[in-house]
Structure 1
Amino acid sequence: MLDLMKHLKSYGLQIFFVIVFTLAGSMLELFLPTLMADVVDIGIVNQDIPFILRTGGLMIVSAIFAVLLTVAVSYFASKVALGFGRDIRRKLFINVENFSLQAFDKIGPSSLITRTTNDIKQVQDVINMMLRMMTRAPLMLVGGVILAVSRDSTLSLIFLGALPVLAGLIVFVTRKAIPLFVSLQKKTDRLNLLLREGLIGIRVVRAFNRVDYEKKRFNTANEDFRDTGIKVNKIMASLFPILMIMMNFTNIAIIWFGAIRIDQGLMQVGNLMAFLQYAMMILMSLIMLSMGFIMIPRAQASAKRINELLMLQPDIVDPEHSEQVQDHGYVEFRDVTFRYVGAERPALEHISFQAKPGQTTAIIGSTGSGKSTLVKLIPRFYDIESGIILVNGVDIKKLTQQKLREVIGYVPQKASLFSGTIAENIRYGKKDATELEIKQALETAQAIDFVNSKEDGVHTIIEQAGANLSGGQKQRLSIARALVRKPEIYIFDDSFSALDYKTDAKLRHALKNETEEATIILVAQRVNTVIDADQIIVLNEGKIAGIGKHQELLRDNRIYQEIVSSQQTEEESA
């Protein structure tokens, strides 16, 4: 947790105000029992009304100032804690944005969401509490002990029995609680994962009548979270009754022995009243510290998880100086091998080919042959194990990610749209695109008809993840988003799968006219989509099984013949 505290440097002035105001407020509160003792021992005993009024007035003024200082401390503490939470969330988001897809796969979206929300909230709450209570409690504890001893050193020996027991109890409870809080955060991740899966896959769940199964899965995780939460809260809840019992017995002991000392003439009544108040302050300070020790273990578990993300360095790093581009729209793979983290065998082995401007390079193969993996290597979503990938004549590792991706228009396998208007989604490809450019891109993508059929046209609102659009509509908008950019290299990762044959053919024809000078790399499952490509790369189990045009491969390549044969059979049987 100390590693996160360095992010509080920018709030040094506010923290200084918190400490100063807390010190001043604590001094005023510690001063009040002394004034009360004087009222009893001097004013009441001597029946000195002016003294009682003066001292009482001073007590009222001190109390008012103490309240104002407490309000100021709460204001600055909240400002620091909320600002800290905002800063950490921003840094976390920026760092996560730079992660490779391998890091995303390793950590998982549900854990990232929990760490960015719940974990930061835990740390934020503890900082707020530490600034408000944990600075005040030690001052009140030390000040209370000093002033209590100054009132009656003999009676103060009662604390020698109470304080070690209380301190030992707090340490014991917190040591028991820390592992449970770590476990609780992991189980929060599990809950988030199941909830996210259930919501995203609701159509599949209902289609296969697996609602009861998903309920059972979620209930199991929920009950596990509940049981751990109950266990840790039982441990923590046991602390307060014991503290209150100790506090009450301490008060009884003070009154008992204080009365004896008053009877013996060794102590005044006012002093006993002041001593009792200081004892209450000391014990309340311990309760405040115990509350801190309750929250700190959970915050420590959360801080550790946050630090893991902040300290995790991106495994794909930009070079200090980007090399100059030699060619335009040129892509080449030279003996490229790639393996996913933890995989036994490579996903791609010894891949070599060239894709040139003005040409369409199609990639086809059976499911799991590595088609999508191959095209994800071009924008450097993953780093390769060996070999070289050249874009515009330069090794992509010698280009900054921004410079590399500026020349690429990428359409993913699964169409991803954001909440907002159609125009805003298209402008994701080119932020300053005019309405004319947007409509031209929509026309090429064969999306203009369904967009114009909507009442608001390009200003129609798209719901989250494009929930109010069909699969084909989402794909065409994703294609339009890439087209509006007018890049040098187009990558279509099985982006025509949701289109019917007629729309597919019209789209490919329109693309040919729109992208005459660009390089097109096209992943497809259907032979009809790749039939007119300038070169077709046939992948089989991560290796190139053949490169050529349709007729050449149909004549000479067994894998391609099988793909064509299987699709013809499907069409005939349909």
Structure 2
Amino acid sequence: MSSLKVLFAYTKGIRRYFVFSILCVAIETSFEVFIPLLMSEIIDVGIAQKDPSVFMEQGLEMIGCAILSLIFGLLYARYAAKAITLFGQRLRSVQYQKIQSYSFANLDHFETSSLITRLTSDVTVIQNSLVNGIRPFARGPIILILGLVMSFLINKELSVIFLFTTPILAVILFFVVRKVAPMYSVLQKVIDSVNRLIQENLTAIRAIKAFVRDEYEEEQFEKVNQDLAKISQDTFHIASLNTPAFQMTMYMAIVGLMTLGIHLIVQNQMQVGELTGVLSYVLQIMNSLMMISNVFLLITRSLASCNRIAQVVEEKVTLISGALPLTPKDSSIDFHHVYFKYAQNAKEYVLNDIDWHIPAGSTVGIMGATGSAKSSLVQLIARLYDVSEGSIKIGQVDVRDMNLEDLRNRVGMVLQKNTLFSGTIKENMRWGDSNASDEEIQEACKIACADEFIQKMPDQYDTYIEQGGNNVSGGQKQRLCIARALLKKPKILILDDSTSAVDTNTDHAIRNSLSKIHGLTQIIIAQRVSSVSHCDQILILEDGKIAAKGSHEELLQTSDFYRGLYESQQKGASL
């Protein structure tokens, strides 16, 4: 129930709409409950005594109750709709804002498909539970209590039968809820799996077609789809047992009431109108019990979604922004005996005892075999992850003490996996600087050698980029991402293998342009020796440790890895 408390906090400001809607249902229901009592009086007094005035008087009262019930029903619909839609909107916004504050370590705790489900399906489940639950939640107890009171007022002997039927219904509800509750959590996890497979397939649709894996992926989807269908069928099958069980109990009660009522009428201990009134209340009471049971099922259904949403909201953000601004005059970087691992309980470190000084304004390269933790090292500079031990300082200030937004604004990163967003080239560029002028955008693209292909496009900088940049090549995407990073006017620029898809001449042109930017500290991760041979110093990583460092000439003498890579690439270039 702690998750309900967490989500209840986000009803602040809209609770009055929930309260108004419940009050309207309570008033509406109260008027409805009085109608059978008025009807029994019409039968016993109006019909028995053939008094038309009773028909008129009680009939007008019944019409008045019906009209008032309708009015408050409409008011309920208005307030409930406002409360539920605003609550759903708030839950999505709160989750989305929290996810934006996550570090990479936080994101590692959730699958992307699961986060999408929590933002969409789980919120919809809660909204549907409220839509279908507020009314019976308010009506059920009121009808149950008032119906029982009215029944006992009409005839005590006949109403005793409720003391036998109510426990039966309570036992049925207990077993249904107990069985179905854990199944709803499993159901949401299966929905996660379906969303994950759909997301992967749509993202990799070109690879699937290229490898002619359509049928295989269809089979994979059919498996998870069948799993979803099976768990849904089992869950809703058990949940649906609630209705026929309640109907059976209701009909048993009606038969019992009819049998006992006819006996009392024959004995002149009861009138026909009283039996009619009690039977009407039986239907209302049984329906109220069914409403209450459905509310329990809805709560059980939504509780699984509440727990999943609460997990997102309560996830403790591992990166807390410091208060110190980044020193703009000094962009030197110092790694002081840095150790890092992605999970606290991991047995081995990804990075081991990294001790390295990068002077301000210098250009350094990082090389190493696949899996040597090159990307992990540079991600620590912008605090995409925090170091496990040791420290990283920029301008002699620990990055953990700096304001996180200011730090990341001053560190331009072009990650290994380049991402462009749906929109024009100009709109994508303004991710680097939302206030960038057209001239600044063109200058950044010129440095990144992106202007040469942009100028050839019909709409040039207004060319629309499809989702994920699917209408541009890998090399074009890399150059656009470099230009976007340059628009931030960073003091430190990190290029994580971000020219791997461009030709050697273009790579050389980009390096020459970047070298002309005064005071820019550059960190270049590359697989080609030619991409880092101009660097002031080059770091060689091996299994997360520094294997060697020095200039191009020094490493040719001291590093077997670097020399072997250089000779193999030189030999390949000469063939």
Q: 1:122-161 deviations in whole A, cap 9, x for unaligned?
A: 1222233332221111111111111111111110111112
1:286 aligns with 2:285: no
CA separation in 2, counterparts of 1:377 and 1:360? 18
Contact 1:80–1:128, Cα closer than 8 Å, also in 2: no
Deviation of the 1:252 alpha carbon: 2.0
Deviation of the 1:449 alpha carbon: 2.2
CA separation in 2, counterparts of 1:255 and 1:81? 42
Amino acid at match of 2:173: I
What residue number does 1:511 align with?
A: 514
What residue number does 1:525 align with?
A: 527
Contact 2:419–2:481, Cα closer than 8 Å, also in 1: yes
What residue number does 2:272 align with?
A: 269
CA separation in 2, counterparts of 1:199 and 1:544? 39
Contact 1:545–1:559, Cα closer than 8 Å, also in 2: no
CA separation in 2, counterparts of 1:372 and 1:51? 88
Q: Alignment partner of 1:107: what SS?
A: coil
1:351-500 aligned within 5 A: 351-500=354-503
Q: Report the identity percentage.
A: 36
CA separation in 2, counterparts of 1:570 and 1:243? 80
CA separation in 2, counterparts of 1:328 and 1:130? 61
Q: 1:368-419 deviations in whole A, cap 9, x for unaligned?
A: 1111111111000111111110113210011121121121111111111111
Q: 1:223-271 deviations in whole A, cap 9, x for unaligned?
A: 1221111111111122211211221221222222212212222222222
Instruction: Select which of 563, 566, 572 maps to 2:565.
Output: 563
CA separation in 1, counterparts of 2:233 and 2:262? 44
Contact 2:416–2:496, Cα closer than 8 Å, also in 1: yes
Amino acid at match of 1:200: T
Contact 1:446–1:507, Cα closer than 8 Å, also in 2: yes
Q: Which runs of 5+ in 1 are unaligned?
A: none
Contact 2:332–2:361, Cα closer than 8 Å, also in 1: no
What residue number does 1:330 align with?
A: 332
Amino acid at match of 2:515: K
CA separation in 2, counterparts of 1:7 and 1:76? 17
Deviation of the 1:323 alpha carbon: 5.7
CA separation in 1, counterparts of 2:281 and 2:291? 15
Instruction: Select which of 56, 76, 81 maps to 2:79.
Output: 76
Q: 1:324 to 1:103 in 2, by over 3 A?
A: closer
Instruction: Select which of 311, 314, 328 maps to 2:314.
Output: 311
Q: 1:411 to 1:498 in 2, by over 3 A?
A: same
Contact 2:325–2:406, Cα closer than 8 Å, also in 1: no
Q: Which runs of 5+ in 2 are unaligned?
A: none
Instruction: Select which of 532, 535, 545 maps to 2:547.
Output: 545
Instruction: Select which of 26, 31, 41 maps to 1:38.
Output: 41
What residue number does 2:255 align with?
A: 252
Q: Alignment partner of 1:490: what SS?
A: strand
Instruction: Select which of 237, 245, 248 maps to 2:240.
Output: 237
Deviation of the 1:324 alpha carbon: 6.3
1:52 aligns with 2:89: no
CA separation in 2, counterparts of 1:454 and 1:277? 76
What residue number does 2:184 align with?
A: 181
Amino acid at match of 2:535: A
Contact 1:445–1:507, Cα closer than 8 Å, also in 2: yes
Could you state the TM-score of these two structures normalised by the residue count of structure 1?
0.96
Deviation of the 1:354 alpha carbon: 2.0
CA separation in 2, counterparts of 1:22 and 1:216? 49
CA separation in 2, counterparts of 1:326 and 1:439? 25
Contact 1:323–1:394, Cα closer than 8 Å, also in 2: no
What residue number does 2:93 align with?
A: 90
Per mean C-alpha deviation after superposition, the further-off stretch among 501-510 and 203-212 is 203-212
1:149 aligns with 2:156: no
Q: Alignment partner of 1:363: what SS?
A: strand
Per mean C-alpha deviation after superposition, the further-off stretch among 391-400 and 286-295 is 286-295
Q: Alignment partner of 1:258: what SS?
A: helix
Amino acid at match of 1:497: S
Q: 1:551 to 1:407 in 2, by over 3 A?
A: same
Contact 1:318–1:397, Cα closer than 8 Å, also in 2: yes
Q: Alignment partner of 2:128: what SS?
A: helix
